[in-house]
Chains A and B, each alone.
Chain A
Amino acid sequence: AQSVSQHNHHVILSEAASLELGCNYSYGGTVNLFWYVQYPGQHLQLLLKYFSGDPLVKGIKGFEAEFIKSKFSFNLRKPSVQWSDTAEYFCAVRNSGNTPLVFGKGTRLSVIA
């Protein structure tokens, strides 16, 4: 069965600091990879996704992620965080379009002024 590991439970950064959130998955076949953000009391929102092609994926709000197949990783990055980036971030993987996503445990990001 697939599994997704997010190594950081809670990350605290100052505004303008750079961010990298780790995500590793266990499935060895073709995968679709996602990063979602969940602001307090709101829907899960898709930040970015990878299906194929360029392993460096750019998403909304200045986020990007790099798929490294050899490391089974899909780390999320942002060069300069803002206070408004405070939220919970979830990495997810699935192996086809009609199968459910498998989520990591999430990483809470707190950005302080």
Chain B
Amino acid sequence: GAVVSQHPSWVICKSGTSVKIECRSLDFQATTMFWYRQFPKQSLMLMATSNEGSKATYEQGVEKDKFLINHASLTLSTLTVTSAHPEDSSFYICSAPATGGGTEAFFGQGTRLTVV
């Protein structure tokens, strides 16, 4: 089946630095990528939707200048957490819907970000 590969699976960074998370669709073209965030003991919450070749759409309350999303190709979408702070520590997951009108959704393995 279709696979979405997400890297890194975990990262620790210092406060004020930036972290880039990559999601690659390995055997299909992902024209859309959804980025979710999951805080401890909470649900996965949609942060933004990226579409290949256009600007991402951010959910209310998500700072677009802090969470930079790039979807430059049909197989790669990136999320960069800029000037990270401890409150950005979370679990970030990407997801791509199936192409061709399918209703499946494929998830990356997630990235555990810890900002110290």
The residues of A with any CB-CB pair to B shorter than 8 Å are: 4, 9, 32, 34, 36, 41-44, 46, 49, 51, 90, 94, 97-98, 100-106
The residues of B with any CB-CB pair to A shorter than 8 Å are: 9, 32, 34, 36, 41-46, 49, 93, 95, 97-98, 101-105, 107-110
Contact between A104 and B97 (Cβ–Cβ < 8 Å)?
no
A-B pairs with beta carbons under 8 A, tally: 48
Given A42-B109, A43-B110, 10 more pairs with CB closer than 8 A: A36-B107, A46-B104, A97-B98, A100-B46, A101-B34, A101-B95, A102-B46, A103-B43, A103-B45, A105-B41
> Which of chain A's residues has its CB closest to B102's CB?
A97
Q: List 16 A-B contacts (CB under 8 A).
A: A9-B41, A43-B108, A43-B110, A44-B93, A44-B107, A46-B105, A97-B101, A97-B103, A98-B32, A98-B97, A100-B36, A100-B49, A101-B44, A103-B45, A104-B43, A105-B43
- With A43-B110, A51-B103 known to touch, is A100 a contact of B34 (CB < 8 Å)? yes
Question: With a CB–CB cut-off of 8 A, which chain A residues contact B107?
Answer: 36, 43-44
4 closest A-B pairs by CB: A105-B43, A103-B44, A44-B107, A100-B34
Question: With a CB–CB cut-off of 8 A, which chain B residues contact A94?
Answer: 105
- With A44-B107, A100-B34, A100-B95 known to touch, is A105 a contact of B42 (CB < 8 Å)? yes
Which of B36, B43, B101 has the most chain A CB within a 10 Å cutoff?
B43
**Complex: how many Å from CA A45 to CA B35?**
17
> Which of chain A's residues has its CB closest to B9's CB?
A41
Question: With a CB–CB cut-off of 8 A, which chain A residues contact B36?
Answer: 100, 103
Say how far A43's CB is from chain B's closest CB, in angstroms.
4
> Which of chain A's residues has its CB closest to B101's CB?
A97
**Complex: how many Å from CA A46 to CA B109?**
13
Contact between A90 and B44 (Cβ–Cβ < 8 Å)?
yes
Question: With a CB–CB cut-off of 8 A, which chain B residues contact A36?
Answer: 107
> Which of chain A's residues has its CB closest to B93's CB?
A44
Say how far B91's CB is from chain A's closest CB, in angstroms.
10
> Which of chain A's residues has its CB closest to B59's CB?
A100
Contact between B108 and A101 (Cβ–Cβ < 8 Å)?
no
